[in-house]
Amino acid sequence: MSGLLEAIVGQVRSIVKDVGQQLGDDGILPLLRPVAPFNQPAVLAPVVAISAVLGLIIFSGVAISAFATLMVALLALYLVLAEIFGYSFEFIPIRVGG
pLDDT at 39 (0 to 100): 67
Residue 84's SS3 state is helix
Domain ranges of the chain: 1-30, 43-86
> What's residue 84's pLDDT?
93
Instruction: For residue 29, name the pLDDT band (cuts at 50, 70, 90).
Output: low
pLDDT of residue 5: 87
Instruction: State mean pLDDT over 3-19.
Output: 87
Q: Per-residue pLDDT averaged across 49-70, rounded?
A: 93
pLDDT at position 56: 92
Specify the pTM: 0.52
Q: Can you say whether the dihedral through the CA atoms of 78, 84, 87, 93 is positive or negative?
A: positive
* Whole-number Cα distances in Å, 24 to 15, 38, 40: 14, 21, 22
CB of 53 closer than 8 Å to CB of 32: yes
DSSP 8-state symbol, 2: H
